[in-house]
């Protein structure tokens, strides 16, 4: 299958390349879309590039993912996350490709009960709003689309929560972490595996694809340190972390659509153990 990946240098993009290129993976030929070579905000250039390649599927992961930066630079967030998505959706239309749009649990405002795929979003921040607009564009322009909402992703790359916890342990020997932010830590490689399976099935629509289970940032940090053999590091539970963007207090994504076609994801603790084992981050 010919697959275009936007955001190919990001956490998910790198994981997708690993999965799709592996024996049995579905990607015979990949078009890698990322800055500076390809800018999704340039409609003429991106549609020409995509059309020339002729993908059967576009997995669209490129985005401005720094939620505080989005809050500071809403025009830029709109240009990349909304208009960039429109441009790739047009490119998909012109080349007859299906599209996977990777979205976020942050489209929801947070509550106790799990969110089902077709629950109504109510984004709290600029980032979340632009991702929600992106979902709507893809749904409006393309009948053959998958919206894959995920959460709290970590994988290859210089920045992620797991790396931050280990760095704080090394540099300070202690840290504070909030108990009032709850979500599902999700290993990019597991999401990539789920997407590799999803694009083989023409069951279009919305999917919630995160590792199973939820925890607070505090519990996540403690588990990182435990699995890395760093139990001696003190983690102080705290609340009300001050940041520019408002983030939901608790989002649990109910993966009903994926389960119905046999696509499930392992518990977040298992995923974290696999990540740490593979990367040797804790050494
Ligand atoms: N990370 C999470 O916790 C999380 C949670 C839920 C959903 N998601 C969604 O999952 C997707 C993948 O996330 P990720 O963590 O893999 O993101 P990431 O590591 O930040 O990667 C995104 C990539 O897109 C690139 N990009 C930005 N603007 C671009 C443009 N105009 N043209 C082409 N490429 C551009 C970025 O380049 P630069 O680095 O140079 O900007 C980066 O390489 C995103 O759509 C995100 O919204 C992420």
Q: Which token pair is 205?
A: 């629509």
pLDDT tens track for 195-208: 999 999 999 999 99
Q: By the 8 A CB rule, do 87 and 41 touch?
A: yes
Q: Which token pair is 8?
A: 């190919």
Per-residue confidence at 283, pLDDT binned at 50, 70, 90? Answer: very low
Q: Which token pair is 139?
A: 């749904």
Number of residues in the chain:
283
**In CATH, 2-158+186-213+252-266 is 3.40.50.720:** yes
% pLDDT > 70, the chain: 97
Determine the average pLDDT of the residues in 154-168: 95
Best mutation site among 65, 154, 156 for ligand 1 pocket (most ligand atoms within 8 Å of CB): 65
Expressed in angstroms and rounded, the spacing between residue 135 Cα and the centre of ligand 1 is: 15
Is 127 tagged catalytic?
yes
With 0-12 CB in 10 A as exposed, 13-18 as middle and 19+ as buried, what is 170? exposed
Read off the pTM: 0.97
Determine the average pLDDT of the residues in 73-77: 98
Nearest residue (CA) to ligand 1, atom 11:
61
Q: Which token pair is 147?
A: 């919206």
Expressed in angstroms and rounded, the spacing between residue 115 Cα and the centre of ligand 1 is: 23
Best mutation site among 4, 6, 7 for ligand 1 pocket (most ligand atoms within 8 Å of CB): 7
Give the dihedral of Cα atoms 36, 16, 203, 122; nearest 10 deg: -60
Nearest residue (CA) to ligand 1, atom 19:
10
Expressed in angstroms and rounded, the spacing between residue 16 Cα and the centre of ligand 1 is: 13
Q: By the 8 A CB rule, do 8 and 182 touch?
A: no
Neighbours of 22 (CB within 10 A): 12
* pLDDT score of 183 more than 60: yes
pLDDT tens track for 91-105: 999 999 999 999 999
Catalytic residue (one of 127, 133, 218, 275) = 127
Per-residue confidence at 27, pLDDT binned at 50, 70, 90? Answer: low
Q: By the 8 A CB rule, do 146 and 100 touch?
A: yes
pLDDT tens track for 224-265: 999 999 989 999 999 989 999 999 999 999 999 999 999 999
Can you list the alpha helix ranges (DSSP code H) found in 54-152? 67-72, 74-77, 84-95, 126-141
């Amino acid at each position: 299958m010919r697959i275009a990946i936007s955001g190919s240098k990001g956490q998910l993009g790198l994981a997708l390349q690993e999965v799709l290129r592996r024996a049995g993976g579905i990607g015979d030929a990949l078009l890698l879309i990322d800055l500076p070579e390809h800018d999704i905000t340039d409609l003429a250039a991106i549609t020409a590039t995509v059309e020339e390649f002729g993908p059967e599927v576009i997995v669209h992961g490129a985005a401005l993912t720094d939620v505080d930066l989005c809050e500071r630079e809403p025009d830029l967030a709109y240009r990349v996350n909304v208009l960039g998505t429109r441009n790739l959706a047009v490119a998909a239309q012109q080349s007859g490709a299906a599209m996977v749009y990777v979205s976020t649990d942050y489209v929801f405002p947070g509550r106790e009960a799990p969110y089902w795929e077709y629950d109504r979003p109510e984004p709290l921040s600029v980032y979340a709003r632009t991702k929600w607009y992106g979902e709507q564009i893809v749904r409006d322009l393309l009948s053959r689309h998958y919206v894959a909402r995920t959460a709290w992703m970590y994988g290859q790359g210089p920045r992620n929560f797991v790396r931050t916890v280990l760095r704080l342990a090394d540099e300070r020997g202690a840290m504070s972490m909030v108990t009032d932010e709850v979500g599902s830590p999700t290993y990019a490689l597991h999401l990539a595996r789920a997407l590799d399976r999803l694009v083989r099935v023409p069951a279009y629509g919305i999917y919630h694809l995160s590792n199973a289970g939820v925890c607070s940032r505090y519990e996540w940090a403690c588990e990182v340190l435990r699995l890395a053999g760093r139990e001696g590091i003190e983690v102080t539970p705290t609340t009300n972390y001050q940041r520019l963007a408002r983030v939901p207090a608790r989002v649990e994504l109910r993966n009903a659509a994926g389960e119905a076609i046999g696509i499930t994801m392992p518990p977040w603790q298992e995923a974290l153990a696999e990540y740490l084992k593979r990367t040797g981050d804790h050494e």
